[in-house]
Amino acid sequence: MVASTLLSATATILRILINTYIWVIIIAALLSFVRPDPNNTIVQILYRLSEPALNKAKQLAPFLVFNGIDLSPLAVILVLKFLDMTAVQLMFNYAQG
């Protein structure tokens, strides 16, 4: 009983973290279109949070940059949603039964 509650709570927190990071990547990608002030603290935080994952995606799959269009945010979001739909859902299912 306690283990299932703990596992369910962990899965819920993991789901919240994944969805929050997806939003960070979306906002950072949208900001790249408008060229905000690079000295803005919020812009710096968003880029510092998103760039490690985006750079890793570009290293693993260099074809994500196609004719100057960077598709790495889309790839990272797809991987995160896959993790959310598989690993987190497995944790929820294991906690329930």
Query: Tell me: the pLDDT tens digits for 32-66?
Result: 889 888 899 999 999 999 999 999 999 999 999 98
Residue 3 — very low, low, confident or very high, per pLDDT cuts 50/70/90? confident
Number of domains in the chain: 1
pLDDT of res. 96: 87
Which are the contacts of 51, defined by CB distance < 8 A and separation ≥ 6?
28
- Residue 9 has a pLDDT of 93
pTM of the model: 0.89
Residue spans of alpha helices (H) in the chain:
2-34, 41-60, 72-83, 89-96
Q: Which residues pair with 65 in a beta bridge?
A: 70
Kindly report the number of other CB atoms within 10 A of residue 17's CB atom: 13
Helix axes 2-34, 41-60, angle to 10 degrees: 100
Structural domain boundaries enclosing 38: 2-96
